[in-house]
């Protein structure tokens, strides 16, 4: 798939490894001048011209605890980057599935991996690759994706991560369709408690970054950067835009505005001032997406509804109208009290004034309490298996009929009840009428 092609591209990558700032547009505003006592190596500690051998030597520092792979090894684990192992692509490049074990490298735990290959002509480059290695090579947490190793060979820049079975939240929340059922229109909606579990996990990941002695600002928190394992545990990925946060008496970081439309905090967009509260705003957007089932920006909708925060924010503190913006695919099967409190939390995270937003630690505490609520109404389900599904898709049919497939039953029970007909269907109809009357 063209992974090993050469190019005239000559990265400034070799300027990233000695003490000076690799991000010249970044400065820090200080009140006085205290600094962190943490031993973590900062992204700002690496810059300056060096030879390729010095680069590899620096990244071999034990503090990173990473395997350094060769391209030959990565060709082997991905079956030469075959199309059957293709997982997807983004601004960084292309991602393939592979498998590693101790036969490849002593000490390697046998496991599937995701191999991300930098696109030499892509929108991200050496600085983003370097940020991934520096941050994920040192920061370890249950809710951060595990970086196993990397390859820095000639012009090739590759990252090797643990494989996350469920993919990313964006896919599951907005495009989740069982294989073979797409034409029949069988979309599986994430159940309410699964959504809350994902929100809690992602919040814990952000809280960990913010509470480091040298805090980290994630800067690109969005649904596509939240990966999910087989148990729907959320892990943050893609640290290409992450940056070191203010330390001691520093109030903010001033940097070039980067990120994704619809998620960036207003003060960051207007001034370039970046704080951990900028991430909190982005979390509020994702929480709103989980509540509504809508994207942060959707150009297909009427103009007044295209930007999710502008459209939904007036409903968040109006408990009488909240059901009008809840994801209709939930069909009323969610905690009413939990939805109200989650909406109030989203409203607080989306405050225009950053000092009015909660810390991620407070966000975690609030969301964890919502998982304990048990006022979710359960209605009747009718199983409908479309006759046009072919025999080779029988695994999915069996899951729906018998609910006993290990591949799908874990955390998926609410999703496998496809085409459910619930007693509270009239609530959905009422919501639609309310929306139409408000236009």
| 400 CA to centre of own chain | 28
Q: Which domains does the chain have, with CATH numbers?
A: 12-23+44-163 (3.30.200.20), 168-370 (1.10.510.10)
Q: Label residue 237 left, alpha or beta by phi (over 0 means left) and psi (-120 to 50 means alpha).
A: beta
Residue-level pLDDT at 187: 57
Does the structure show a pLDDT above 70 at 178? no
220 catalytic? Reply is yes
Residue-level pLDDT at 383: 46
- Tell me the whole-structure pTM to 2 decimals: 0.76
Which residue in 21, 25, 121, 220 is the catalytic one? 220
- The whole-angstrom separation of Cα 410 and Cα 232 is 9
Local confidence band at 59 (pLDDT 50, 70, 90 cut-offs): low
Mean pLDDT along residues 247-264: 81
**310 annotated ligand binder:** no
Residue-level pLDDT at 87: 94
- The whole-angstrom separation of Cα 199 and Cα 177 is 21
In tens, the pLDDT along 138-171 reads 999 999 999 999 998 888 899 999 999 999 999 9
In tens, the pLDDT along 112-138 reads 999 999 876 655 677 788 888 989 999
């Amino acid at each position: 798939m063209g992974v090993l092609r050469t190019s005239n591209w000559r990265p400034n990558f070799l300027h990233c490894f000695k003490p000076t700032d690799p991000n010249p547009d970044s400065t820090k505003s200080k009140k006085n001048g205290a600094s962190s006592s943490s031993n973590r190596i900062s992204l700002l500690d690496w810059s300056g011209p060096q030879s390729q051998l010095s680069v590899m030597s620096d990244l071999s520092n034990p503090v990173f605890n990473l395997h350094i792979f060769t391209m030959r090894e990565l060709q082997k684990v991905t079956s030469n980057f075959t199309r059957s192992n293709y997982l997807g692509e983004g601004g960084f490049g292309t991602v393939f599935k592979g498998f590693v074990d101790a036969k490849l490298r002593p000490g390697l735990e046998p496991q599937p991996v995701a191999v991300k290959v930098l696109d030499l002509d892509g929108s991200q480059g050496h600085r983003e690759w370097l940020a991934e290695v520096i941050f994920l090579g040192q920061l370890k947490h249950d809710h951060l994706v595990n970086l196993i190793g990397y390859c820095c060979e000639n012009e090739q820049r590759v990252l090797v991560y643990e494989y996350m079975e469920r993919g990313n939240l964006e896919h599951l929340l907005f495009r989740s369709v069982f294989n073979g059922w797409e034409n029949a229109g069988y979309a599986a909606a994430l159940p309410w408690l699964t959504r809350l579990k994902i929100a809690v996990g992602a919040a814990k990941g952000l809280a960990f970054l913010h509470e480091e002695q040298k805090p980290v600002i994630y800067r690109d928190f969005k649904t596509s950067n939240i990966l999910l394992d087989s148990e729907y545990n959320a892990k943050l990925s893609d640290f290409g835009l992450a940056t070191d946060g203010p330390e001691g008496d520093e109030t903010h970081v001033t940097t070039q505005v980067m990120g994704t439309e619809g998620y960036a905090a207003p003060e960051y967009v207007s001034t370039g001032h970046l704080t951990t509260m900028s991430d909190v705003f982005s979390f509020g957007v994702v929480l709103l997406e989980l509540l509504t089932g809508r994207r942060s920006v959707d150009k297909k909708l009427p103009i007044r509804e295209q930007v999710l925060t502008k459209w939904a924010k007036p409903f968040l503190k109006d408990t009488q109208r909240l059901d009008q913006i809840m994801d209709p695919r939930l069909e009323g099967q969610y905690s009413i009290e939990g939805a109200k409190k989650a909406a109030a939390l989203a409203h607080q995270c989306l405050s225009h004034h950053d000092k009015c937003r909660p810390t991620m630690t407070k966000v975690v505490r609030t969301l964890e309490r919502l998982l304990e609520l048990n006022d979710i109404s359960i209605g009747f389900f009718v199983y409908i298996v479309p006759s046009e599904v072919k025999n080779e898709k029988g695994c999915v049919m069996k899951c729906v009929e018998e609910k006993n497939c290990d591949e799908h039953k874990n955390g998926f029970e609410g999703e496998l009840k496809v085409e459910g007909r619930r007693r509270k269907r009239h609530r959905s109809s009422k919501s639609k009428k309310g929306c139409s009357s408000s236009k």
